[in-house]
Amino acid sequence: MNALLLLLAPLAHGHAGADFTAVDLEREDAIETGFGLLLEESDGWHWVCHEAITTSDAIITPRYSTSPTGTWLAVVPDVTQAREEAQPVYRSEAGCSWDPVTGLDDQAVSDVLFIDEDTAIATTAEQREGRSGGIFRSTDGGLTFSDVHPLDEGRLVLRVLASGQTVYAASFVPESPSQAELHVSTDAGATWTDLPLDLSDLAGSQTTLAVRPVIARGDEVWLAVNVLTGHVLLHSDDRGASTTTVLVADGTLLDGAIATDGSVWMLEGPRGAWHSTDGVDFEPVEAPPAIGLSAFSADATLATSAAFTGGLTYQLTADGTATIGVQGSDLVGPLACDPGTEQHDICEPLWEQVLLAQPKGPTEETDTTDDTDLDGSEGCGCATSSAPAWVALLPLLLVWRRRR
């Protein structure tokens, strides 16, 4: 796997039968995991396999985005592992049939995001010699895309975020920290403004560097920059015209979210979380080892490993109290679909592999403020604790988290 895929792949083994590990939560009733996409219905959680859009032997975990009414877009970042040749992005209206979109053929698509029901944005991270990518836009609900902001060869975009009609993406040239740029659109991605981001001072002697937006709120945007000692979080309240450093982390800033009370959460893997009431001053919060973080209330929702923590998700309060949310036992079966759909024909025969992989882990509530961490080491501590092996094996940058 090349360097780019190490940046893009949240977990290896993205297929039926993989460990019960949650990766991200696009909404409260949908969980992206290493073994598939989980959708909540009245009787529990139903499973959609990644193999609906990947080859049968794919190891990369796709990423997903959903529209306000539940239309899905899914990206296979390594196009060679996509179900259909040279087709990296697929669309589904109900999770049953997954069809390739038009306009992104053979592109190294890194992220995709619905802005509203009609508008979606896709970004690329093209490393092939002689190829260049850009920022693509759809105005027909993700059916077709066109390149609205071409980028020079060698320039990578790893993530796109939106806050209303304001959209943010950052591009960089890995070997040139002085050439990073923040791309901002105030009209839902129709037109873009490029702002320079000279990150040379942060890079120091580092020869490669990556930057990505992790949270957006109106004119505010938070950018995570990898440095030799961990990650630096930059904040801007003027759409990137100026930035200030608000957090220096020893670990990897994996994800972030804005809670319903206006506070800001950041996830530092594998050490813990950070919480800020104003988005500038952050306090550490002890937390189970996690991969993704969302916020659907004042609390954070963590995506974690059921094999190690007992839950696919946890609710985390600002004082460090963590409570199991969704467990493996909440999964009731594959999503029911008609014959002829990918979900019925490809996924249903794979359901037995999911059952065999289901963990028999703990189910009790866990308070991470005591003296025992979930992996048996002494107190979590956002700056000192060790973590389970599955966290240590994560890539240095899990960079594709999406938040509105």
| pLDDT tens digits, one per residue of 250-276 | 999 999 999 999 999 999 987 799 999
Q: What is the pLDDT of residue 355?
A: 92
Burial of 357: CB neighbours in 10 Å, binned 0-12, 13-18, 19+ = middle
Kindly tell me if the per-residue pLDDT of 115 is higher than 60: yes
Q: What percent of the chain has pLDDT over 90?
A: 74
Residue linked to tokens 């059921």: 306
The model's pLDDT over 155-181, given as tens digits with 9 standing for 90+, comes to 999 999 999 999 999 999 988 889 999
**Burial track 277-314 (b if 16+ CB lie within 10 A, e otherwise):** eebeebebbbbbbbbbbbbeeebbbbbbbbbbbbbbbb
Residue 40 pairs with which residues in a beta bridge? 45
Residue linked to tokens 């920022």: 135
Residue 170 pairs with which residues in a beta bridge? 182
Q: SS3 for 336?
A: coil
75-84, 99-108, 301-310, 358-367: range with lowest mean pLDDT: 358-367
**H or E segment to which residue 223 belongs:** strand 220-227
What is the rounded CA–CA span in Å between residue 289 and residue 286?
9
Q: SS3 for 150?
A: strand
Residue 119 CB contacts under 8 Å (≥ 6 apart), including other chains: 137, 138, 139, 188, 189
What is the rounded CA–CA span in Å between residue 5 and residue 2?
5
Contact 123, 77 (CB under 8 A): no
48-52, 211-215, 255-259, 361-365: range with lowest mean pLDDT: 361-365
**SS3 for 138-172, per residue?**
ECCCCCECEEEEECCCCCEEEEEEEECCEEEEEEE
Q: What would the two tokens of residue 369 be? A: 């403020």
Closest CA to 21 of 29, 30, 10: 10
What is the rounded CA–CA span in Å between residue 64 and residue 109?
12
Secondary structure letter of residue 52 according to DSSP = G
What is the rounded CA–CA span in Å between residue 72 and residue 95?
7
- Span 300-320, mean pLDDT? 95
pLDDT-derived band of residue 320, with 50, 70 and 90 as boundaries? very high
> Helices marked H in 153-227 — which ranges?
200-203
